[in-house]
Amino acid sequence: MYPIFLVLLAGAVGWKVFQLTRAPKDRALRSVTLCLAFAGLQVPLATPGGASGMDMVAGHGAAKLGQNLLLLGTMYFLMCFYLYSASDEQASRKRARIEALVVLCVAAVITVAATTVPHEAFAGSFATADMTTTQLAVFYGVAGLYLMYALAAAGVWTVRYARMSPRPHATGLWITAVGLLAMAVACAVRAVFVAVRWEGGVVPHSVMASVAMLLVVSIILFVAGVSYSAARSRLAAFRLWQEHRRGYRRLAPLWELLAARFPEIVLKGSSSPLEEWGLRGVHRRYHRRVVECRDGLVRISPYLGELETEELMHVGPDLLAGRLRAAYQGPALEAAKPVVALAVPQQDDRSSDAAHLFALSDALRTAA
């Protein structure tokens, strides 16, 4: 589950950074990008190797303090994202400043709490920490309460947006809302655990493990929800790219025959191979080949024999393929008949037009 989280988080950060480079003045986009970036910076401190290395350099507890400070930053920028999305610029800036003061106060409190206890007190985890030590209780309790507040507020805002949004954006927002609210519940329960243990009570290890698992699952849901719309759109774009790439190659027999007979139908493309075969270049090559095939069919139509105009417009691909080969091999004489559109679809749309050209090209390939 942890590798899945890393992949999702890395993909989400990369996509948002790419979007931010195209819209650097978008405050909401900047906030969500920083939110994900702060979440990503926590990853090294959350791993045993990274935490032990940090503690070795800065003392026991440094990794835990750094991780919690980064987590506070993550929640702050998450709230800023909603503030800049839901309010006008002046009101959102004012509220963002207030929220910044709140999170700075929380950060100061947990920093003082962490630096006023022996480093060995942070050697364990949340489950093994001695919560009867007031500083540890304050460290975990105050941070947990702020996280609960920020996550609950963000979850409520997400639910509102999900109700107003169409699919597939609504689906991603609902997944995000579930993740946020589940994290808020987990933080609230952990705050209760802190209070119980500070009073000297005992919380069963199995219960704490269950809440920790809920927190992990909710984080994965949050990252998946944030990435859902972008991943869905990228998948659709990749499928279209594959479809046009296959279509470009499928039209090769028809295009090669027509371009050999009428070289002037070939349109000028880009001089850069990288641009030609990039994501957008494949689309341009495909549509250009469709246009060239259509132009070539019009140019060759007067040379197709004794069929009448109406017959030429509705002749099957196999018969038309044979006529095309005969016309290609015949003499390049002046046409005695007017030009006519060939392989005309019954429906006036691009997919139907391409389907007729594909059928004709396939017939040429089979007959070769």
Instruction: Compute the distance between CA of residue 187 and CA of residue 253 in angstroms, rounded to an integer.
Output: 64
Do 194 and 143 touch, CB atoms closer than 8 A?
no
List the single range of 44-53, 146-155, 238-247 with lowest mean pLDDT.
44-53
Q: Secondary structure of the chain: what % helix, strand, coil (to 5)?
A: 80, 0, 20
What is the structure's pLDDT at 150? Answer: 92
- The 10s digit of each residue's pLDDT in 261-315 is 888 888 876 555 555 555 677 888 888 998 888 888 888 877 776 555 555 555 6
pLDDT in tens, 174-193: 998 999 999 999 999 999 98
Distances in whole angstroms, Cα of residue 346 to Cα of each of 310, 338, 354, 356: 14, 22, 12, 10
Structure confidence by residue, pLDDT tens digits, 25-53:
788 888 888 888 888 777 766 665 555 55
Q: Is residue 312 a contact partner of residue 340, using CB atoms and an 8 Å limit?
A: yes
Domain positions in the chain are 2-229, 251-367
* Domain boundaries 2-229, corresponding CATH code: 1.20.1070
Q: At what angle do helices 350-367 and 205-250 cross, to 10 degrees?
A: 60
Q: Where are the alpha helices (H) located in the chain, listed in sequence order?
A: 2-22, 27-46, 48-58, 62-86, 89-115, 134-164, 169-198, 205-250, 252-261, 273-276, 279-300, 309-314, 317-329, 350-367
Percent of the chain with pLDDT over 70: 79
pTM: 0.67
